[in-house]
Structure formats: structure tokens, C-alpha cells
């Protein structure tokens, strides 16, 4: 079920209510600062629950240093600057 924009998955709990889901959302939000995407609530064998969550990815603009300039995109560059960037040696990024 979805509560306040967060998908709450109950695993091994068949009779969970919306109020319980809202309590888990409030519990996790009180402990983390990231915007939440999903919360998983799993019933363990000992009767306790395991609560895990995933956060939404933050949107960001890629900034690169090209030919001495910090840029997001090159769409406003003139033909000479675009040609200069095109002729540069590109290096691979290794993880």
C-alpha cells in the first residue's frame, strides 16, 4: 500500500492496516533524512519485524570540466568551442 508517497510492503503480515503502515513511515522518517521510496516490513520467526527502506535518488545536474570551463551541457557553445571539445582526447573512467 502507498502512504504519504511511500510504498509500504508487508512480508509475512497479511492483516496490516493503513494506520500501521503510516506508523512505519513515520518511524523511518524520524530516523533518516533521505526522501523515502519504499519501506519493507518483514515478520521474523521470533515475532519481531525487520524494517528496511530504499531512498529516492536525488536529481542532479552533471557538471564537467571541459577545456577549462565548468559546464553542464555544451548546447550554448559556438562552433569553435564545440570543435575544440570534439578534438580533445577522451579518457575512460574505471570503477
pLDDT tens digit sequence for 15-51: 999 999 999 999 999 999 889 999 999 999 998 999 9
In this structure, the dihedral spanned by the alpha carbons of residues 78, 84, 88 and 90, taken in order and rounded to 10 degrees, is: 0
Q: How many CA atoms lie within 13 A of 48 on its CB side?
A: 3
Q: Hey, what's the cell of 35? A: 526522501
What is the C-alpha end-to-end distance of the chain, expressed in Å? 37
Mean model confidence pLDDT for the chain: 87
Q: Tell the residue number behind the cell numbers 510504498, with chain if given.
A: 7
Question: Which range in 16-20, 54-58, 65-69 is most confidently predicted, on average pLDDT?
Answer: 16-20
Amino acid at each position: 500500500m502507498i502512504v504519504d508517497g511511500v510504498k509500504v510492503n508487508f512480508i509475512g503480515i497479511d492483516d496490516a492496516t493503513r494506520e500501521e503502515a503510516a506508523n512505519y513511515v513515520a518511524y523511518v522518517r524520524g530516523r533518516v533524512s533521505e526522501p523515502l521510496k519504499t519501506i519493507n516490513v518483514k515478520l521474523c520467526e521470533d515475532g519481531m519485524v525487520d524494517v528496511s527502506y530504499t531512498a529516492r535518488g536525488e536529481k542532479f545536474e552533471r557538471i564537467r570540466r571541459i577545456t577549462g570551463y565548468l559546464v553542464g551541457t555544451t548546447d550554448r557553445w559556438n562552433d569553435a568551442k564545440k570543435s575544440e571539445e570534439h578534438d580533445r582526447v577522451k579518457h575512460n573512467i574505471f570503477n
